[in-house]
Amino acid sequence: MEKNGNNHKLRVCVATCNRADYSKLAPIMFGIKAEPQFFDLDVVVLGSHLIDDYGNTYRMIEQDDFDIHTRLHTIVRGEDEAAMVESVGLALVKLPDVLNRLKPDIMIVHGDRFDALALATSAALMNIRILHIEGEDVKTRDYIVALQHPVTTDIKHSIKMFELTLDALISFNKRTLVLFPNVDAGSKEMVRVMRKKGIEHHPNFRAVKHVPFDQFIQLVAHAGCMIGNSSCGVREVGAFGTPVINLGTRQTGRETGENVLHVRDADTQDKILHALQLQFGKQYPCSKIYGDGNAVPRILKFLKSIDLKEPLQKKFCFPPVKDNISQDIDHILETQSALAVDLGGTNLRVAIVSMKGEIVKKYTQLNPKTYEDRLELILKMCVEAASEAVNVNCRILGVGISTGGRVNPREGIVLHSTKLIQEWSSVDLRTPISDALHLPVWVDNDGNCAALAERKFGHGKGIENFVTLITGTGIGGGIVHQHELIHGSSFCAAELGHIVVSLDGPECLCGSQGCIEAYASGIALQREAKKLHDEDLLLVEGMSMKKEDIVSAAHLIQAAKLGNTKADGILRTAGTALGLGVVNILHTMNPSLVILSGVLASHYVNAVKDVINRQALSSVKTVDVVVSNLADPALLGAASLVLDYTTRRIY
């Protein structure tokens, strides 16, 4: 194993406790088995796999031609809280001997149920590395799959909810496959509810203890709806776009796709029945929130990279969050919205933005010059907007802030500001705003926000690789690569305005020379317009200016349109500089789309296309260059920070 520096094959122990986790672990096991030059595989079977009432599902493993090295009977019957604790204890007693005998380099464990807890605890205390992963005929879309488990923190309520669910399904009168619950405390009582209502003998229902995973996936892929509280509903089923009704709180905090309708307080039959009427028979876009089908190669690559010489130590990290939009029946009549804040060099703006990108209400004030006054005004405007949201039937999910300068989005801190916003460096925006509003807060650079706005609402929607360039007072931008925004190692990626296109060009505000921003920004055009005006070369027939008027880039553009050749030459030079910068981006990132945004975009688009045709390599000349059709990308991008992450509920 040259990559990880180990002198022996990696000994991998895969421990599986039930039918659900084996279905996720099996592809990894097949991958490990297929590369014997790298891995030795030991399979440990325990938990409900070995219980007759749950189908003796260890036979699935044998049928898949895996050798089971150890069978551990660890379930204490009783299906209540005490039995679960005793089961964990029994597993903890038996596992050390097994692990001492097998001496694995790493143990692979799936999920977060009580039996997985025993596995992880044993391995951790024995200094064994842990790879903890998630991962009759009827017509298509004309049946329901129901899978509901007890909630061990509130067994009584979960049994009542299951009873209401069955009542709603009986009333809904569709063919329904009901799977028996898992072995958690309360499962025995849930089975009693099924039998009391005659589910096993009802003509519309089929109740089964076990369905092989490959068949189960086919069933949910073609179902009209899945209902219950299984993690499968919020994870695997989204890959098929099947509608899901997630009941209760068992999956609270999990990332979910737009195919999931939450009924968190499933306290009436009518509420569940209404959810069935809303969801049954729909077809949602397929979601890749929980993977793109390449998990096994990635896991094997990771296993091969493990350096056994590296000391064991806990590490904490938070994975990136993908696009997701879920629904909640209790808020279905409200418009899910974000508070968007745009901190510009002149104005401070706050808006209520809906999930569809509609600006419901907008507030604008002059941006104060000092940190204290600015933060006070942000809080005041956000509080006012949040209060108004109730009146316009909007539910605020969080606050997104777009600001100039370099931003650490993980911490919500402005690291360094542009010269346009004073007293705005090393500023923690997340903490005071989140504390005041009791809402999650996200912060990012205005160029990145513009790219997020395009990804969610504009030309970038569904595009894997694209670049957004903002042409306004300054020049900024954002880069989306493989659907993800690039921030860079020090949060300085996509400072596109500071690509140097001339070694002896005009001085830029950053202190360098020849940057795109020094040629093509609004400030640069204003500088050149003033030079012409001072030399009495700006105004032509059809133009007039009062003495108190401030010369601006708009005057230069107007002069060029009216035939001023010098003004036209300045704009051509600016367009060429921007085009050369775009060519450098094409040769570096190779995007399929370039979006020009901002007030100057329409004036530059043809010049940029001309430079690409003249200067770019033939392999990138096919790139599309378009002008943004978004009216307010800064506010929409700030809103996207919230709306893209809203269902995760953590930050």
Report, as residue numbers or ranges, the catalytic residues: 446
How far apart (Å, rounded) are the C-alpha atoms in residues 49 and 22? 9
CA atoms within 13 A on the CB side of 355: 19
Angle at the Cα of 483 (from 481 to 485), degrees rounded to 5?
60
Strand order in the sheet with 39-46: 68-72, 39-46, 10-16, 106-110, 129-133
Measured in whole angstroms, the distance separating CA 579 from the mean position of its chain's CA atoms is 32
User: Cβ distance 143 to 223 under 8 Å?
Assistant: yes
Copy the structure tokens of residue 463: 């595009």
For residue 130, give every residue at least 6 positions away whose Cβ sits within 8 Å of its Cβ, in sequence order, or none.
106, 107, 108, 109, 120, 123, 124
Q: Which of 458, 403, 398 is nearest to 631 (CA)?
A: 458
- Residue of 566, 560, 571, 573 lying closest to 536 (CA atoms): 566
Beta-bridge mates of residue 407: 414
**Pair type for strands 413-416 and 427-428:** antiparallel
Rounded Cα–Cα distance for residues 155 and 81 (Å): 9
* Token digits of residue 401: 């802030």
* Residue 233 burial (CB count, 10 A): 29
**Rounded CA separation 20/27 (Å):** 13
Give the three-class secondary structure for 311.
coil
Distance between CA atoms of residues 456 and 592, nearest Å: 17
Q: Cα separation of 512 and 523, whole Å?
A: 15
- Cα 89 from Cα 97, distance rounded (Å): 14
Residue 570 DSSP symbol: H
Cα separation, 299 vs 109, in Å, equals 13
Distance CA(11)–CA(228), nearest Å, equals: 38
What are 408's strand-pairing partners? 413
Contact in structure between 175 and 280 (CB atoms under 8 Å):
no
Q: Classify the C-alpha dihedral 522-528-529-531 as positive or negative.
A: positive
Helix 81-102 crosses helix 114-125 at what angle (to 10 degrees)?
40
What residues contact residue 59 under an 8 Å CB cut-off, 6+ apart?
A: none
